[in-house]
């Protein structure tokens, strides 16, 4: 929300960077913001916190109270209207934050690390609320986060930033499965397989010396194919799953398995050839 040195910001066809002070203030009311640390006023009750943006926008009292009541119901805080933030759990605080951000019927909801301070269960409930809001109110939600599982769970499109620049963007599944930049790869590791496994992978490739250790990348629908059992049936090889992780997303399943395929050399080569012909991506350990 600072004066940018460069670049421009366009929301709903309006060039934000061209606005003067007053217009900028007004245009801000069309963006609802949610913060990692909630940024609630401890001196105001839940009701009054939600009321604040309405007061700022100059909404008359009666209308304001009505709207606040509505919002409290929307975010599921009925009964806690008169509580102070200090009396709320983290999840409840973020619900107040969301209600407050929605107060002026914004076009965009900007969530800056909105769930990073919450425990996993609370994160889930907040994400669920965001999905509901997205569907019901039809507003755009921009999520800023470093938690990849949050993106996996609720986002449609993703952009990866590094040093203040967007270095990669696109459909969530595309970016997750084919990360191009180093940053993206590191991030995607969080959900797709982690460094621990890489460590172990090294270890595996040294202790399993017979056969070939290969890494299989399952992308989207391909996990439906009973690949391993088909290979086992069709080729005279033994397949041993060493380690890996397979996960489901909204657009299908993906993941990585490290397997050891052992058998007669020829047969082995044919089996790997076959796997390569499927949509599963294969990586063969160099030293095996």
Partner 1 sequence: MLNELFPNVKIADLWEATGETFYMTLIALTGTFVLGILLGLLLYLTSKGGLWQSKSLNLSVATVVNVFRAIPFIILILLLFPFTDFLVGTIRGPNAALPALIIGSAPFYGRLVEIGLREVDKGVIEAAKSMGAKTRTIIFKVLLPESMPALVSGITVTAIALIGYTAVAGVIGAGGLGDFAYYYGFQRRAFDVVFVCTVLIVIIVFIFQFIGDFITNKLDKR
Ligand X SMILES: Nc1ncnc2c1ncn2[C@@H]1O[C@H](COP(=O)(O)OP(=O)(O)OP(=O)(O)O)[C@@H](O)[C@H]1O
Chain positions 230 to 269 lying near a second copy, rule: CB under 8 A, are 230-233, 237-248, 253, 255, 257, 260, 262
The tokens describing 32, both together, are: 């609802």
Site for partner 1 in 10-69 (CB under 8 A): 24-29, 31, 33, 35, 37-44, 52-53, 55-57
User: Please, which residue, 19 or 282, has the CB nearer to partner 1?
Assistant: 19
Contact partner, 4, from ligand X, partner 1, a second copy, none, Cβ < 5-8 Å per class: ligand X
The listed partner (ligand X, partner 1, a second copy, none) that binds 52, CB under 5 to 8 Å by sort, is: partner 1
Query: By C-beta, is 102 or 271 nearer to a second copy?
Result: 271
Binding site partner of 219, from partner 1, a second copy, ligand X, none, Cβ cut-off 5-8 A by kind: none
Q: Does 86 bind partner 1 (CB under 8 A)?
A: yes
- 280 binds a second copy per the rule CB under 8 A: no
226 binds a second copy (CB under 8 A): yes
Residue placing its CB nearer to ligand X in the complex, 10 or 240: 10
- Cα distances from 217 to residues 124, 185, 193, 221, in angstroms, run 27, 14, 11, 12
Three-class SS string for the chain?
Answer: CCCCCCCCCEECCEEHHHCCHHHHHHHHCCEEEEECCCCCCCCCCHHHHHHHHHHHHCCCHHHHHHHHHHHHHHCCCCCCCCCCHHHCCHHHHHHHHHHHHHCCCCCEEEEECCCCCCCHHHHHHHHHHHHHHHHHHCCEEEEECCCHHHHHHHCCEEEEEECCEEEEEEEHHHHHHCCCCHHHHHHHHHHHCCHHHHHHHHHHHHHCCCCEEEEEEECHHHHHCCHHHHHHHHCCEEEEEEEEEEEEECCEEEEEEEEEEEECHHHHHHHHHHHHHCCCEEEECCCC
Q: Which of 7, 2, 133, 138 is nearest to 74 (CA)?
A: 133
Give the one residue of 11, 16, 76, 84 binding partner 1; rule: CB under 8 A. Answer: 84
* Shortest distance in whole angstroms from residue 227 CB to a second copy: 8
Which residue's CB is nearer to partner 1, number 56 or number 284? 56
Contacting positions for ligand X (CB under 6 A): 2, 4-5, 164
Q: How far is the CB of 119 from a second copy (least distance, A)?
A: 11
Where on the chain is the footprint of a second copy (CB under 8 A)?
120-121, 149, 195-197, 200, 203-204, 223-233, 237-248, 253, 255, 257, 260, 262
Where on the chain is the footprint of partner 1 (CB under 8 A)?
1, 24-29, 31, 33, 35, 37-44, 52-53, 55-57, 84-86, 100, 104
């Amino acid at each position: 929300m600072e004066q940018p040195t460069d670049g421009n910001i366009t929301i709903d066809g309006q060039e934000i960077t061209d606005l003067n002070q007053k217009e900028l203030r007004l245009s801000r009311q069309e963006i609802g913001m949610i913060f990692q640390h909630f940024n609630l006023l401890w001196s105001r009750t839940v009701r009054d916190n939600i009321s604040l943006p309405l007061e700022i926008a100059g909404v008359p009292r009666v209308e304001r109270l009505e709207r606040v009541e509505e919002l409290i119901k929307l975010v599921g805080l009925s009964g806690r209207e008169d509580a102070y933030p200090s009396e709320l759990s983290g999840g409840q605080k973020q619900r107040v934050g969301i209600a407050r951000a929605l107060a002026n019927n914004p076009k965009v909801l900007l969530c800056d690390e909105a769930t990073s301070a919450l425990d996993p269960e609370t994160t889930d409930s907040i994400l669920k609320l965001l999905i509901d809001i997205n569907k019901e109110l039809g507003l755009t939600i921009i999520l800023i986060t470093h938690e990849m599982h949050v993106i996996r769970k609720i986002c449609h499109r993703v952009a990866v930033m590094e040093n203040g620049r967007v270095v990669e963007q696109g459909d969530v599944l595309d970016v997750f499965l084919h990360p191009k930049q180093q940053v993206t790869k590191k991030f995607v590791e969080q959900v797709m397989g982690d460094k621990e496994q890489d460590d172990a992978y090294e270890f595996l490739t040294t202790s399993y010396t017979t056969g070939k250790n290969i890494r299989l990348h399952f992308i989207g629908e391909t996990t439906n194919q009973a690949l391993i059992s088909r290979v086992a049936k069709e080729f005279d090889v033994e397949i041993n799953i060493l380690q890996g992780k397979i996960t489901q997303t909204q657009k299908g399943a993906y993941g990585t398995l490290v397997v050891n395929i052992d058998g007669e050399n020829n047969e082995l080569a044919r089996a790997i050839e076959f796997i390569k012909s499927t949509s599963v991506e294969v990586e063969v350990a160099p030293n095996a």
